[in-house]
Each structure stands twice: as C-alpha cells, then as structure tokens.
Amino acid sequence: MRRRFLTFAMAATAATALTACTAGKEGAPALGSGPKPSGSASSALPAASIEVWHGFSTPGEVKAFEDAVAGFRAKYPQITVKLVKGVQDDQITQAVRGGKAPDVASSFTTDNVAQWCKSGTFQDLTPVIKQDGIDLSVIPEASRAYTEFDGRRCTMPLLADAYGLYYNKALMKGEQPPKTLSELTELTKKLTVRDADGNIKVAGFIPSFQYYENVPTHFAPTIGAKWYNEDGTSAIGSDPAWKGFLRWQKELVDWYGYDKLNKFRKSLGQEWSADHPFYKGKVAMVLDGEWRNAMIANEAEELDYGTAPFPAADDKPDLYGGGFTSGTVIGVPKGAKNPQAAWELVKYLTTDTQALVTLSNAVRNVPTTKASLEAPGLKKDANFQTFIDIFAHPRTSTIPSSVNSSFNQEAFQEFMNQWEQGSVKDLDAGLAEVDKRINDKLKLSGG
C-alpha cells in the first residue's frame, strides 16, 4: 500500500467531519433490499451502473485494479462499473454527508473504520454476509478485526500490509537476523560504523521514532503491548510492555548519542525514493512493510537482502513470527444508488481467489483470504513469503478499532518523540498524561 505517510493528514480531516451526524442520501435503497443473484446465475441481478472510488493512483496500480474488476465484469456483464482513482478518506466522508456517495468506496487506512461504522457512513454488511452464507473464518482474525467496530461490519478487507525486518546481507557479514530485542541491540552495536569523531557512517538499526516506519502501532504486536482497556480507555500508561520497550529504545538512542543519531537520520535519503538508505548500505536493518520488496526490485535490484519477522520482546519469545498488519478496506457507503450490485462487487473483490491474486501480484500486497494466500498463482519468492507467514501467524495483530484512532496514535507518537530527545524526565508521569489526553478525547466523542 505504501500509504501510511498519507494516513494522519487525511484522517484528521475525515475525523473532524465524522464527529457530526452522517447525512447521506435520503430515500436511497438499503443494502440487501434489492434482488439477489442465485448461485452463479448472473441474470438474477438486474442491469445497473455503479461508481467505485478507490485510492490507487499510479498507472500500474490503476491497471491492476482494472484487471481485478475485469472478472466481475465478465461475470455480470449487465453491471456497468465506473472506476474513479486517487480518492482519499475525507472525499468519501464529505460525499456521503453531501448526499453524493459512490456505490463502492475503498480506503488505504483502517483508522477511520470505527467512525464510519459507528456513524453509518458505510452500511452494515452483516445481513448480506449472512444472507449469502459467507464464512468469514476464511479471513485471518486480524483482518476481520480492523474491518468492523462494536459488532458492526461496515467494510471488508481487500489487501493487507504486514511488517517485518529487512536486512542487508553484505552488511550482516554472515550474522543471522535477531529474534529478540536484546539480540537486536547487540547486533546493532556490532554492525554500526563510526568515523574518528564518532559520527555515524553506517547504522546497524535506527531506533528513532522519527524514522520512517518506526511508529508505535508497528512495534506493539511484537512486544505484546496493549492500547486500550476493555472500556475503551487508554492502557498505554499502565501496561509494563510499553514502559519496557521505551526504556530499551532510549538506551539504544543514548548509545548512539541523540544528536549524532538525529544528524545521521536527517542526512539520509527519502523513504519513498531510490535514495532510501537501506538501498545505499547506510542502514543494515530496517522495519518495513511487504511492499518494500517490490520497491527494491524496481529501484535497487542488485541489493542482496533478506527478510524476517521483527524481533520480539525478550520476555515474550512466543510473539516472534507475528507482527503488525492493516490494509485496504472496501465497503458500500450510505446513499449508494445501487447497493445490491455494489455489494456483489465488494464480495467478489474480497472473496474471489483469482481477483485477490491478480491484485496482489500487481501491487505486491498480501491477499486476505486463506485460499488466496495458498493459491499456486500467487507470486511469492522467499522474501515475500516472509510477510505471508507473518500475516498468517496467530500472534499477528492490529491496533484495536477506536473512534479516535488517529488522534490516539498521534498523541502517543508526540510523546515518544519527546522521550527519545530526553525531554521526558518522569516516564510514568509522561505516560499518564498520554492516557489523560486520549481519555479526555474519548469523553468528547461520547465514549
């Protein structure tokens, strides 16, 4: 997906709009109220035209989505499908509230799913899923979790991201990838190269929370950290896993020296360019998503690298092998003109093995059903297989749904940045303040 860098900016706008009641188009047919196709008989579904909004924008991605939809068009030739590319979450929300919703919409982020489900911006798919006899157990639990909220399933998973460790084999010099944070620390120190003045020339691993994919959501599953209590309030300050991880991170930052590490970080190439420091041999190990494999093939094909799960907390070795996952979601917005035809497309794209394999092979994200993960036509070399295994691992998880997901992540991220800079003198008090900010926001949201 490669879209995390868009998430906070777009979600902030969408969250503001979602705090108000969703308007939608009055009088629009409800999902499940129209004729239903029976078995494989396409003629059971009447002729209709549906508009589909999606976030894919590059020529290759747009073609991939077109190719995935082609199978649906062949199955239902009486359904005209109009695809609109490059759409973001705030545009979807505003269109629904303005009574101009598309029939189908997808999003690259899961951060707005809770609000969309709660507000009714997206229609509840539960009745038609039951009506059509879809067995949701074919979808891994983590993906089921990030596509619903409070018992209301308003989206389905399309493709997924999984996060793991990339390592430069030449810089590793025969070392095996670490499996625990202690091993990561030891190897980081061993692989780091400095000049005579102590400036960093090559970093074994960059622990900074200001570096690329090093955000709290991506680390949480491998350290067993909790985000929320059962009542939805923040568990960050009371969970010892977060404290242990933050202390581990700060010790490694201090070993580098914050100023030297920050100077080195700022000298590096951009994450989304051919100058990525991992390509250039400036960083030996990085946390990243499965899409990086495709980017390396396009931008640094000579790079000799390997992939592995990200190291687990020392006291929770059973978590090794899992990781963080999220992904593209798709659903039927409120006010869709042809909701039954829209649902058939959503069902097709999210449960048809060939459609998922076609899309996965083109954009190099993980498909989201067990059958598609095992499909013989799925392209998977050893480095991509790592992420399929991580995605399917029973300990892989996602951030639990919350109506304030983006705010909560930003609040914690801000604190983590202050922590690594040495601005936080009392860890417990600082985390308690993060809890307060999150809980105060929850109260304002009616939680």
Q: What is the pLDDT of residues 256-299, one digit of tens each?
A: 999 999 999 999 999 999 999 999 999 999 999 999 999 999 99
Across 300-305, average pLDDT: 97
The answer to whether residues 227 and 264 belong to one domain is yes
Across 42-68, average pLDDT: 90
pLDDT of residue 445: 87
CATH code where residue 70 lies: 3.40.190.10
Kindly report the length of the chain: 447
Sequence-ordered list of residues with C-beta below 8 angstroms from that of 437, at least 6 positions apart, any chain: 411
The answer to whether residues 40 and 123 belong to one domain is yes
The tokens describing 349, both together, are: 């794209």
| 426 located within any domain | no
Whether the per-residue pLDDT at 34 is higher than 60: the answer is no
The alpha carbon dihedral of 340, 356, 92, 412 has a sign of positive
The answer to whether residues 75 and 187 belong to one domain is no
Whether the per-residue pLDDT at 6 is higher than 80: the answer is no
The alpha carbon dihedral of 231, 420, 290, 83 has a sign of positive
| 8 located within any domain | yes
pLDDT of residue 33: 59
Whether the per-residue pLDDT at 185 is higher than 80: the answer is yes
Q: What percent of the chain has pLDDT over 90?
A: 88
| 105 located within any domain | yes
| 89 located within any domain | yes
pLDDT of residue 17: 36
| 427 located within any domain | no
Across 152-178, average pLDDT: 97
Q: For residue 51, what are the CA distances in angstroms to 10, 87, 338?
A: 22, 12, 9
The answer to whether residues 176 and 279 belong to one domain is yes
| 413 located within any domain | no
Q: What is the pTM of this model?
A: 0.91
pLDDT of residue 24: 52
The answer to whether residues 300 and 349 belong to one domain is no
Across 206-233, average pLDDT: 97
The answer to whether residues 228 and 255 belong to one domain is yes
Choose the weakest-confidence range: 41-50, 105-114, 211-220, 403-412.
41-50
Q: For residue 20, what are the CA distances in angstroms to 26, 119, 148?
A: 17, 8, 20
Q: Could you tell me if 241 and 319 are in contact, meaning their C-beta atoms sit under 8 angstroms apart?
A: no
Strands (E), 247-356: 283-289, 305-308, 325-331
pLDDT of residue 15: 40
The answer to whether residues 229 and 303 belong to one domain is yes
The answer to whether residues 289 and 331 belong to one domain is no
Express each pLDDT in 165-174 by its tens digit: 999 999 999 9
Sequence-ordered list of residues with C-beta below 8 angstroms from that of 125, at least 6 positions apart, any chain: 31, 153, 154, 155, 156, 331, 332, 343, 346
The answer to whether residues 142 and 17 belong to one domain is yes
pLDDT of residue 2: 43
Count of the separate structural domains present in the chain: 2
Across 40-61, average pLDDT: 84
The answer to whether residues 12 and 156 belong to one domain is yes
Whether the per-residue pLDDT at 203 is higher than 50: the answer is yes
* Average pLDDT in the chain: 92
The answer to whether residues 142 and 284 belong to one domain is no
The answer to whether residues 247 and 358 belong to one domain is no
Nearest 5°: the CA angle 218, 87, 336 is 110
Q: Could you tell me if 177 and 165 are in contact, meaning their C-beta atoms sit under 8 angstroms apart?
A: yes
Rg of the chain, C-alpha, whole Å: 22
Across 182-208, average pLDDT: 98
pLDDT of residue 39: 43
Q: Could you tell me if 108 and 10 are in contact, meaning their C-beta atoms sit under 8 angstroms apart?
A: no
Whether the per-residue pLDDT at 413 is higher than 60: the answer is yes
Domain end, chosen from 319, 352, 367, is at 319
Name 122's bridge partners.
333
Question: In which domain, by residue range, is 120 found?
Answer: 4-161+325-392
pLDDT of residue 64: 93
Domain end, chosen from 392, 417, 434, is at 392
Cα–Cα distance for residue pair 274/181, rounded to 1 Å: 29
pLDDT of residue 446: 78
